[in-house]
Structure 1
Amino acid sequence: MLENFKKHFQPGADCIPASEETIEKYKNKVPESLIEIWKTSGFGKYNDGLIEFVNPADFEDNLWTWLGREVPNYVPFAISGFGELFYYRKLTDEEEDVCMIDIQYRKIETLVWSMDDFLDDFITNVVERKMWLREDLFEEAITQNGKLEKHEVFTFAPILAFGGGEEMEYLQKGNAQVYQDLVFQMTS
């Protein structure tokens, strides 16, 4: 399990395995493949922060804000290098999917129908990474602005919906939770 993911995504030095308490809290809400990442390489930035696996507790409030309500079987698990929030939905005992909140355009996208597909097929696909994670812009931003810290992302100023552009001149660094909240307030 996860061979393709591990081949394409290297954990950063900031990665810390999840505590037993965290694993216990979410073990019945997320699939084993995600738990395996949490137990082994853990929470932190992968590929310099192209994606950051996060402790769900750190982003639940933001998820509930964007959804407009608390949904116990939805679990935020990652952020992109630009602040998009990825979350897992356990729909039934047999049905699941992975969604992304595109904060720039205030859209929720269903990306794939399982966590395993997300980890081993979706984010390991070059075309998907370039489209959903803005990989080319991310690599340019890391080269010019340096690495990101925990929960830090590249922010667009102004946000894309307000005329910003997917170009270096519009990028700054900022805290993901604050940025997600600010964009939500600005686009409400």
Structure 2
Amino acid sequence: MLKNFNSYYKPASDCVPASAETIQQYESKVPASLIEIWKTTGFGKYNDGLIEFVNPADFENNLWTWLGREVPNYVPFAISGFGELFYYRKLTEEDEDVCLIDIQYRKIETLVWSMTGFLEDLLTDEEDRNVWLRESLFVEAVKQNGKLEKHEVFTFAPILALGGAEEIDYLQKGNAQVYQELVFQMTS
């Protein structure tokens, strides 16, 4: 089902398939393609953390903070290696999309109109990976600073909106949830 995604993204050895309870909690809110990842390779880092599929429960509070309200049909499902938050929106029975909260510049971007398009097209396109995941900088950061742990991301210090730069010298490691909250407070 996810031929392009599976050929490009390699799960870390510590990825954990989602529990039956988690699957049951979200299966009516997210598409089968995402459930497939959760059931097979599971939650965790892919390609050394270029993207991390997360348990939505771990990031719902951060999503609600950034959106300013709780929206039951919006489900956070992944983070980039730099802390951006990806979430799925089930808009109607037929309409869906995948959005990104660009925490650095306080922007919400609608990336694609389906989860399959996100997994099979956007995540496997080199130009999109460099735009949305900062892949070139990420690869350099892993070489210099080592691999990321669960929910750990590379943080910009200072954050980009406050004068940081997308350069290796401005990067540190930190917890994604804490970083997302900190950036929200600093840019409010």
TM tier relative to shorter chain: over 0.9
Deviations 1:76-104 (A, max 9, x none): 00000000000000000000000000000
Q: Determine the structure 1 residue equivalent to 2:33.
A: 33
Deviations 1:98-150 (A, max 9, x none): 00000000000000000000000011000000111000000000000000000
What does 1:139-154 align with in structure 2 at a 5 Å threshold? 139-154=139-154
Q: Which runs of 5+ in 1 are unaligned?
A: none
Q: Determine the structure 2 residue equivalent to 1:76.
A: 76
Whole-angstrom CA distance in 1 between matches of 2:126 and 2:39? 26
Q: Determine the structure 2 residue equivalent to 1:12.
A: 12
Q: Determine the structure 2 residue equivalent to 1:109.
A: 109
Q: Which runs of 5+ in 2 are unaligned?
A: none
Shift of residue 14 of structure 1? 1.7
Shift of residue 13 of structure 1? 1.0
Whole-angstrom CA distance in 2 between matches of 1:33 and 1:65? 27
Q: Determine the structure 2 residue equivalent to 1:44.
A: 44
Q: Determine the structure 1 residue equivalent to 2:86.
A: 86
Whole-angstrom CA distance in 2 between matches of 1:13 and 1:144? 21
Shift of residue 156 of structure 1? 0.1
Q: Determine the structure 2 residue equivalent to 1:182.
A: 182
Partner-residue secondary structure (3-state), 2:117: helix
Whole-angstrom CA distance in 2 between matches of 1:66 and 1:111? 17
2:102 pairs with 1:138: no
Q: Determine the structure 2 residue equivalent to 1:56.
A: 56
> TM-score, normalised on structure 1?
1.00
> TM-score, normalised on structure 2?
1.00
Whole-angstrom CA distance in 2 between matches of 1:114 and 1:14? 28
The RMSD of aligned alpha carbons is 0.3
Whole-angstrom CA distance in 2 between matches of 1:181 and 1:123? 25
Shift of residue 42 of structure 1? 0.1
Whole-angstrom CA distance in 1 between matches of 2:14 and 2:83? 18
Whole-angstrom CA distance in 2 between matches of 1:39 and 1:51? 17
Whole-angstrom CA distance in 2 between matches of 1:110 and 1:160? 21
Whole-angstrom CA distance in 1 between matches of 2:177 and 2:14? 18
Shift of residue 169 of structure 1? 0.7
Partner-residue secondary structure (3-state), 1:182: helix
Whole-angstrom CA distance in 1 between matches of 2:26 and 2:84? 21
Identity %: 79
Letter in 2 for 1:138: F
Letter in 1 for 2:138: F
Whole-angstrom CA distance in 2 between matches of 1:142 and 1:16? 22
Number of aligned residue pairs: 188
